């Protein structure tokens, strides 16, 4: 007992020491942040470096500031589309910015429609007469889609990456199927669905993809791939037959070049030159007429430095409010990156109550979720419309199932050609563990006052009455979904039922089926909303869930401290790793939890020195 008591006291002492250390770190953060913070300035003649990290998303998921410090929360694993497009659009009119360099080495991809919108923003920047160039050690499929919008693409001539050159592997859907495993363990799944092609339940019913689902998936994946192929071919002046040969016969072609993916990509015109980083600097000096004086500014720093100017320019009275609905649809209040019925409804109410807001654009990126929550949001949208303010829908990466439920009432619906939408149907999936437990002699028995008492207990078999209740409820939800689509899109029940089999569509298909009105990005949706509201001169305001004062202060302290610590290097070339806020977070997240406070203190020591 004495030994155990000593161990316990030791653990308590260590716990107190760690707690005290974390408290000291937070205090140091506050002192550093509230003291003299270095101001970010835009060079008189500079190059904007677009450096997305992680996944491209419509809205970053909210994370606890404490978790950002101690446990890591993937804060550097997402980049907001809005911050990239906003930086490009501001820089297009900024005489100080001579051009853009795309640094895509840490970019892991995103939904095809989001990639297309980022590509459109790069095209707008180039239309302003400024150049965009890309350089990388290799390019994945998503990275290359963005790089293809550049004027010139350069590839490292001596890359040691596992995959070199340009790897375009295509789109695929490969679910994992569990039926045989569930049968083996005697776990039964009771499936209820309305819409024969609502394929999310198949992994629990089969060991392989059904023929019908295979055909449907090939259809929408083929549409997405055709859109990708068209973009690459048009951007690089490549014949479609050459693109097909490169992507379908890549292994054989790579063998002909002895595994040198760079030379293969160069031979097909996918890149312009194979050069070293030093040679890339020289190309930039000549292209931007900045001999020996290359100055770069990261897009995040550029946004910070130009925020005040942008807010002063957007000071008009009449506004179009943009509200983001990103993530799974759930009830109640939800943080950014998840759609909460109450939190999103509050933003819609805010737009309705503001006399300066003349129209609303709801920016949707959602695979669906709770039908009840979706209907709650739809009712609020109808209220905004009844107040005389049009609500235009701007579909982004996904607007499927519940995502389309909230899109259907829009005055107009915009999507990208490669937006994934549809999935009009409903399903429920309930496991039953009674047979599995019986194998080990575990049984459930008892009494209830009705046939439905304990009916949803997974340890009991699913009774006939509860099955009937679930089927009736699901069919009612499905009928409601059909009515919502019919009312919103002015389609008859027969017309909607022909589309309501749970099938997924791309924007291209959705246009021909009457599920959307036009192709277009956020700017197009905003312009349409302003036109419907009769607004000739207007500004755009983004409404979002506000943090509490305490959350705002803590978040500001942490973000500014990390940003300060991130600027400890001097930029020598556009691809040298210069830690910023996101990179420092990533660096710390790679360390053990115990080591993180020490690393933060080291950053702060660097700042003090």
Percent of the chain with pLDDT over 90: 64
Q: Determine the Cα–Cα distance for residues 373 and 460; give it in Å rounded to an integer.
A: 29
Q: What is the pLDDT of residue 308?
A: 61
What is the SS3 assignment for 107-174? EEEECHHHHHHHHHHHHHHHHCCCEEEEEECEECHHHHHHHCCCCEEEEECCCCCCCCEECCCCCCCC
Q: Label residue 607 by pLDDT band (50, 70, 90).
A: very low
pLDDT tens for residues 503-526? 999 999 999 999 999 999 999 999
196, pLDDT greater than 90 = no
Residue 10 falls inside a structural domain: no
Angle between helices 596-608 and 549-566 (to 10 degrees): 70
Which residue has better confidence, 605 or 343? Answer: 343
Q: What is the pLDDT of residue 159?
A: 75
Q: Cβ distance 385 to 348 under 8 Å?
A: no
Q: What is the pLDDT of residue 505?
A: 92
Query: Residue 565 is encoded by which pair of tokens?
Result: 């610590």
Residue 266 falls inside a structural domain: no
Residue 464 falls inside a structural domain: yes
546, pLDDT greater than 90 = no
DSSP code at position 39: P
Beta bridge partners of 393: 362, 413
The number of domains in the chain is 1
Residue 158 falls inside a structural domain: no
Residue 273 falls inside a structural domain: no
Q: Cβ distance 430 to 458 under 8 Å?
A: yes
Q: Determine the Cα–Cα distance for residues 412 and 273; give it in Å rounded to an integer.
A: 45
Q: Please state whether beta strands 391-400 and 420-422 pair in parallel, antiparallel, or not at all (unpaired).
A: parallel
572, pLDDT greater than 50 = no
Query: Residue 564 is encoded by which pair of tokens?
Result: 């300060």
* Mean confidence (pLDDT) of the chain: 84
DSSP code at position 87: H
Q: Is 225 helix (H, G, I), strand (E, B) or coil?
A: helix
Percent of the chain with pLDDT over 70: 81
Q: Please state whether beta strands 107-110 and 97-103 pair in parallel, antiparallel, or not at all (unpaired).
A: unpaired
Of 91, 164, 79, residue with least CA distance to 121: 91
Count CA atoms closer than 13 A to 417's CA, side-chain side: 12
591, pLDDT greater than 60 = no
Give the H/E segment covering residue 466: helix 464-489
What pTM value is reported for the model? Answer: 0.81
Q: Cβ distance 96 to 43 under 8 Å?
A: yes
Of 208, 207, 182, residue with least CA distance to 431: 182
Q: Label residue 163 by pLDDT band (50, 70, 90).
A: confident
Query: Residue 421 is encoded by which pair of tokens?
Result: 């939408």
Q: Label residue 271 by pLDDT band (50, 70, 90).
A: very high
Q: Determine the Cα–Cα distance for residues 63 and 336; give it in Å rounded to an integer.
A: 9
Q: Determine the Cα–Cα distance for residues 229 and 170; give it in Å rounded to an integer.
A: 10
Q: What is the mean pLDDT of residues 281-292?
A: 92
Q: What is the mean pLDDT of residues 163-170?
A: 91
Which residue has better confidence, 45 or 589? Answer: 45
In terms of residue numbers, what domain contains 338? 316-543
Residue 351 CA: distances (Å) to CA of 311, 320, 330, 456: 19, 9, 21, 41
Residue listed under structure tokens 């305490």: 550
pLDDT tens for residues 463-475? 999 999 989 999 9
Q: Determine the Cα–Cα distance for residues 267 and 240; give it in Å rounded to an integer.
A: 15
The rounded Cα 159 to chain-centroid distance in angstroms is 29
CATH number of the domain that 330 lies in?
Answer: 3.90.226.10
Annotate 560-587 with b (16+ C-beta within 10 A) or e (fewer): bbbbbbbbeeeeeebbeebbbbbbbbbb
Q: Which of the residues are catalytic? A: 198, 401
Tell me how many helices (H) and strands (E) the chain has.
23, 23
Q: What is the pLDDT of residue 286?
A: 93
Residue 322 falls inside a structural domain: yes
pLDDT tens for residues 309-335? 555 555 557 899 999 999 999 999 998
Residue 339 falls inside a structural domain: yes
Q: Cβ distance 323 to 348 under 8 Å?
A: yes
Give the H/E segment covering residue 98: strand 97-103
Residue 294 falls inside a structural domain: no
Q: What is the pLDDT of residue 29?
A: 59
Can you point out the beta strands (E) in 416-538?
420-422, 426-432, 504-506, 518-519
């Amino acid at each position: 007992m004495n030994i155990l008591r000593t161990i316990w006291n030791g653990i308590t002492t260590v716990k107190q020491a760690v707690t005290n250390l974390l408290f000291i770190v937070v205090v140091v953060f506050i002192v550093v942040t509230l003291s003299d913070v270095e101001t970010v300035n835009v060079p008189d003649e500079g190059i904007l470096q677009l450096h997305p990290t992680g996944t491209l998303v419509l809205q970053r998921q909210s994370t606890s500031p404490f978790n950002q410090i101690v446990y890591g929360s993937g804060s550097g694993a997402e980049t907001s589309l809005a911050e990239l497009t906003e930086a490009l659009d501001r820089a297009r009119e900024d005489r100080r910015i001579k051009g853009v360099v795309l640094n895509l080495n840490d970019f892991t991809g995103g939904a095809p429609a989001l990639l297309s919108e980022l590509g459109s923003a790069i095209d707008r920047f180039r239309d302003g007469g400024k150049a965009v160039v890309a350089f990388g050690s290799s390019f994945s499929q998503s990275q290359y889609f963005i790089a293809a919008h550049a004027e010139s693409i350069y590839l490292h001539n001596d890359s040691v990456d596992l995959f070199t050159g340009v790897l375009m592997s295509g789109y695929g859907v490969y679910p994992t199927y569990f039926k045989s495993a569930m049968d083996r363990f005697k776990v039964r799944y009771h499936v209820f669905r309305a819409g024969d092609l609502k394929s999310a339940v198949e992994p629990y019913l089969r060991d392989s993809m059904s023929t019908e689902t295979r055909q449907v998936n090939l259809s929408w994946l083929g549409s997405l791939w055709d859109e990708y192929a068209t973009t690459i071919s048009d951007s690089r002046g490549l014949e479609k037959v050459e693109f097909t040969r490169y992507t379908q016969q890549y292994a054989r072609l790579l063998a002909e070049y002895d595994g040198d993916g760079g030379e293969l990509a160069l031979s097909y015109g996918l890149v312009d030159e194979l050069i070293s980083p030093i040679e890339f600097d020289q190309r930039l000096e000549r292209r931007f007429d900045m001999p020996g004086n290359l100055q770069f500014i990261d897009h995040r720093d550029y946004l910070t430095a130009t925020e005040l100017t942008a807010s002063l320019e957007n000071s008009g009275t009449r506004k179009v409010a943009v509200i983001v609905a990103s993530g799974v649809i759930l009830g109640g209040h939800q943080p950014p990156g998840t759609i909460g019925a109450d939190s999103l409804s509050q933003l819609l109410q805010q737009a309705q109550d503001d006399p300066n807001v003349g129209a609303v654009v709801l920016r949707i990126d959602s695979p669906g979720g709770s039908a009840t929550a979706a209907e709650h949001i739809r009712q609020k949208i109808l209220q905004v419309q009844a107040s005389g303010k049009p609500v235009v829908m701007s579909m982004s990466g996904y607007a499927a199932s519940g995502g389309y439920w909230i899109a259907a009432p829009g005055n107009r619906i915009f999507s990208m050609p490669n937006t994934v939408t549809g999935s009009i149907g409903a399903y429920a999936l309930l496991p039953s563990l009674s047979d599995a437990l019986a194998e080990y002699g575990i049984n459930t028995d008892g009494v209830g006052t009705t046939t439905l008492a304990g009916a949803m207990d997974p340890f009991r078999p699913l009774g006939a009455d509860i099955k009937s209740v679930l089927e009736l409820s699901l069919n009612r939800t499905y009928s409601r979904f059909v009515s919502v689509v019919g009312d919103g899109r002015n389609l008859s029940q027969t017309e909607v039922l022909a589309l309501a089999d749970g099938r997924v569509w791309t924007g291209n298909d959705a246009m021909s089926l009457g599920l959307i009105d036009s192709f277009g990005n956020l700017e197009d949706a905003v312009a349409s909303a302003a036109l419907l509201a009769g607004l000739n001169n207007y500004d755009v305001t983004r409404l979002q869930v506000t943090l509490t004062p305490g959350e705002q202060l803590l978040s500001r302290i942490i973000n500014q401290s990390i940003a300060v610590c991130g600027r400890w290097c001097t930029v020598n070339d556009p691809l040298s790793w210069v830690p910023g806020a996101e990179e420092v977070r990533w660096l710390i997240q790679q360390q053990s939890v115990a080591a993180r406070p020490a690393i933060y203190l080291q950053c702060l020591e660097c700042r003090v020195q």
